[in-house]
Structure 1
């Protein structure tokens, strides 16, 4: 198995002048900082968005220059280098430059507050931080606490006095490959969990995890050199970066889209001739709604080359996929399930050949194993609900500096995911819910995902989250927080309750609230936030206002 660094070297040697990366930014304004230099730029016009591209040779060269800068500052194998940047064309060369030194790369969530940035830097023992102009304020707030003993590189113009200019320094460094050797078992990356509350866990992966992601992605989705992958989610998250790894292995083009709207997605697919697009559920829903409302027209775009749409990061409503395939009947479709602890999506996947099982998360991914266990860790019978466990070459080494959390999650080589699932008679796994999100009403287990999936079949509903609320008699009752489509503002509780008569009585929501459904950057519903917002006191206040 090659390392992903070797994959980059191979592409730079075999196809130096072919385009590796493209950045498209429909929202770029003239006064925005530009954070990369000395390669082709296509300026914004009335017709076209701002666009930048980079060849495989330049990609490799930029990675080499940054690696040599780090090595000149004494960076070694055990060091950690963090990236705090928005999605941009320089993100991946910086990532690979860190790996080329043998050090560990630490991608940071660009939505982190200053306190969260400081926490993650300390938690991961970060030695160097590379950050962009959008983060000057947040980094400056904590610079007195993080700067001692650390290097700060600024990737932008007008470098703050308390940081060092990344561009000027890398321009002076050699473009030759430092050729530092490391093994697949060596540390490669620390990713932070995308939890919806509290401080995240630091997840340590080795180089085999990264290489497994690249091989698995190509096996699952069949990338060739002619494919063009549209990457929209943030690169700091394993879901985006690891899906792109299939493009790395196949030597095909990746397109990074800055700014997300139904129009910008379809326009970029059309302009860049994208063949593979990974979407989050909200984005797919927004595209369908825009088409249904006539705000977008498919004939305005060149989409015949688009062959695959796949989704992951959260439960996928079957009704939404069925609507998608009605609108795009020639698309292949895949659901990808995974966690940052399993190096992102794919440890379970539906498979493009299994569209008849839409709704399931699928079967074990390439080189992965799965099982479902009860509270005593014994495997359950097919059809029974239990906790999903996975095992494979993309498994994390540990939660960095957190032995107790590691021991609770990694047991006998199996990752206990915290997700409740069942396996059907055909061997397909079905996600039931997060273990912590299960509602226990009068001793009966209620799985919110099942109710959410049912409600998403109602045409007026744009998004929905089902949570448990305290109840003196039953312990908990289910509450559906429903976000309606704009044209359905007049829909009320009576219509929803009538639709829910098709559910067993115990599954029918006891409370209905019409309000926006918050999701985090990876598309997951922020249920702790909803529980806090609509807890006992808030719910009483809400009902008094009605």
Structure 2
């Protein structure tokens, strides 16, 4: 019976001991080998005094050692507390200071970053380094693992104990540690397997960061079915395409911008990518021109998932991607799908009252796969989990058939002249211009209007457009009061590890009102 993630490891090693669990740049790790090394690491940590529900932090890009660290926690009941490797040293210090791990397992390329903050990390008793030169204050990961026993640690987790402590992106303040239990992770694994139609012969390609729930949830989904993972250290478009062809990958996971980069790989039309039956995308709806291009080249492979660190929610299935369908079909491409099985979904106003179809309000989700709460933050937990429903902070509306349309974050909504303006609606209007490849909208403080709308836009290669042209174009798509008052052209938009646009950074860079003429 599978009740914890450790049970998944044991089940696969029992049933498929010689089958591939991970293919990491040609390095094959079988399910039997993965269980053995996970047990040995769990045992080695136990011998060093680490006990059930102690935190084990991991700072690394996608590596086999990262997955082994997860495995040790899954088997022994340690809490895996991941760290975003893109963060600056002070941000990493904050997360480690909040989670207070007893162990930090890190990739050697981050040794200098840890060195900067090591005087603030007195609670860490054991530093384990892999993948390069080991600093004098750390120990070699492989040497420590070799001290462990094949039988593993003498403890196993309980279903309602904590498995993950994964920090949010901090888009509305300090990052919050999201508590996820073994029971919740088994539920999300089953949901992923169901929604994606995963089977034992699937090969899932992952290049999104595994410290984040997007890649982690899909990995759990394919492994609960006994399929294999083709793991990449990071995202290199040409390498991704070559690997799909060579390894006969059946499924991959990308943000829409990554899909575009893959489709732009020279010679992709000549590649044999027929093995690929699903591209799961998230972070944003797929622009229709990009979707049409992908469908023409790859066939009906696109599926969208909507969720967050705190819990999963909706799916827009492959058969619902109809860019040449009816006007209703095309409109639904801008949705984030319908609620997955066993997911409760509501749209409510500020008083918690349910709203009718077509009227935007806060999105609430209730599912067994949602978080248990926030670490060291009972006030935020109470606010987020009122009456058993997770309050996402996202604003959206449902159509009569239950398709969910995401229009904004509650805190991203722009109020101009007393009118609510949803940034998503403006972004879609700007993006409909053929010269635009990517766009984000923010509010800019204004003495008269309160806020005005500013678009930050990326042009398609070989295209041009002026500020006045784009503003005029949006007036043909949305009400005039919603149009941008200013447009900033940039080469690229900053993004979070999930692939979502980082609007905190955009506000810091472009949120100041333009100087007034004297």
* TM-score category, normalised to shorter length: over 0.9
Deviation at 1:499, TM superposition (A): 2.6
Instruction: Evaluate the alpha carbon distance shift between residue 283 and residue 167 of structure 1 in structure 2; reply closer, same or farther with a 3 A threshold.
Output: same
Match of 1:352 in 2: 318
- Distance in 2 (CA, whole Å) between partners of 1:499 and 1:149 is 56
Which of 268, 275, 298 is matched with 1:305 structurally? 275
Which of 483, 498, 505 is matched with 1:522 structurally? 498
Q: Summarize the alignment of residues 157-236 of structure 1 with structure 2, pairs less than 5 Å apart.
A: 157-178=132-153, 180-196=155-171, 198-236=173-211
- Distance in 2 (CA, whole Å) between partners of 1:393 and 1:320 is 34
The answer to whether the aligner puts 1:83 opposite 2:49 as a matched pair is no
- Distance in 2 (CA, whole Å) between partners of 1:116 and 1:531 is 19
- Greater Cα offset, 476-485 or 504-513: 504-513
- Distance in 1 (CA, whole Å) between partners of 2:455 and 2:333 is 24
The answer to whether the aligner puts 1:501 opposite 2:501 as a matched pair is no
Match of 2:434 in 1: 459
- Distance in 2 (CA, whole Å) between partners of 1:397 and 1:341 is 8
Match of 2:23 in 1: 22
CA deviation profile, 1:283-330 (whole Å, cap 9, x unmatched):
123234x2xxxx5223331201110112112454445334432333x2
Which of 250, 266, 277 is matched with 2:225 structurally? 250
| TM-score relative to the length of structure 1 | 0.88
Which of 367, 372, 379 is matched with 2:347 structurally? 372
- Distance in 2 (CA, whole Å) between partners of 1:535 and 1:338 is 27
Deviation at 1:154, TM superposition (A): 1.5
Instruction: Evaluate the alpha carbon distance shift between residue 322 and residue 447 of structure 1 in structure 2; reply closer, same or farther with a 3 A threshold.
Output: farther
- Greater Cα offset, 511-520 or 246-255: 511-520
Which of 109, 114, 121 is matched with 1:134 structurally? 109
Cα RMSD of the aligned pairs, angstroms, is 2.0
CA deviation profile, 1:18-53 (whole Å, cap 9, x unmatched):
1110123xxxxxxxxxxxxxxxxxxxxxxxxxx322
- Distance in 1 (CA, whole Å) between partners of 2:254 and 2:304 is 10
Deviation at 1:179, TM superposition (A): 5.9
Q: Summarize the alignment of residues 471-486 of structure 1 with structure 2, pairs less than 5 Å apart.
A: 471-486=446-461
How many corresponding residue pairs? 506
Partner SS for 1:137: helix
Instruction: Evaluate the alpha carbon distance shift between residue 183 and residue 513 of structure 1 in structure 2; reply closer, same or farther with a 3 A threshold.
Output: same
- Greater Cα offset, 210-219 or 516-525: 516-525
Deviation at 1:198, TM superposition (A): 4.5
- Distance in 1 (CA, whole Å) between partners of 2:483 and 2:296 is 29
Q: Summarize the alignment of residues 13-412 of structure 1 with structure 2, pairs less than 5 Å apart.
A: 13-24=14-25, 51-148=26-123, 150-178=125-153, 180-196=155-171, 198-288=173-263, 290=264, 296-328=266-298, 330-342=299-311, 346-355=312-321, 356=329, 357-412=332-387
- Distance in 1 (CA, whole Å) between partners of 2:123 and 2:16 is 43
Match of 1:11 in 2: 12
Is contact 2:395-2:408 (8 Å) kept? yes
Instruction: Evaluate the alpha carbon distance shift between residue 466 and residue 297 of structure 1 in structure 2; reply closer, same or farther with a 3 A threshold.
Output: same
Instruction: Evaluate the alpha carbon distance shift between residue 408 and residue 197 of structure 1 in structure 2; reply closer, same or farther with a 3 A threshold.
Output: closer
Instruction: Evaluate the alpha carbon distance shift between residue 166 and residue 410 of structure 1 in structure 2; reply closer, same or farther with a 3 A threshold.
Output: same
- Greater Cα offset, 246-255 or 349-358: 349-358
Deviation at 1:401, TM superposition (A): 0.9
Instruction: Evaluate the alpha carbon distance shift between residue 302 and residue 281 of structure 1 in structure 2; reply closer, same or farther with a 3 A threshold.
Output: same
- Distance in 2 (CA, whole Å) between partners of 1:321 and 1:131 is 38
Partner SS for 1:440: strand
Structure 2: gaps spanning 5 or more residues: 322-328
Which of 429, 434, 443 is matched with 2:409 structurally? 434
Is contact 1:285-1:320 (8 Å) kept? yes
Is contact 2:344-2:366 (8 Å) kept? yes
- Distance in 2 (CA, whole Å) between partners of 1:271 and 1:454 is 40
Is contact 2:41-2:152 (8 Å) kept? no
Deviation at 1:149, TM superposition (A): 5.4
Is contact 2:285-2:333 (8 Å) kept? no
Partner SS for 1:154: strand
Is contact 2:60-2:85 (8 Å) kept? yes
CA deviation profile, 1:214-261 (whole Å, cap 9, x unmatched):
111110011112111111110000111111112111111101123424
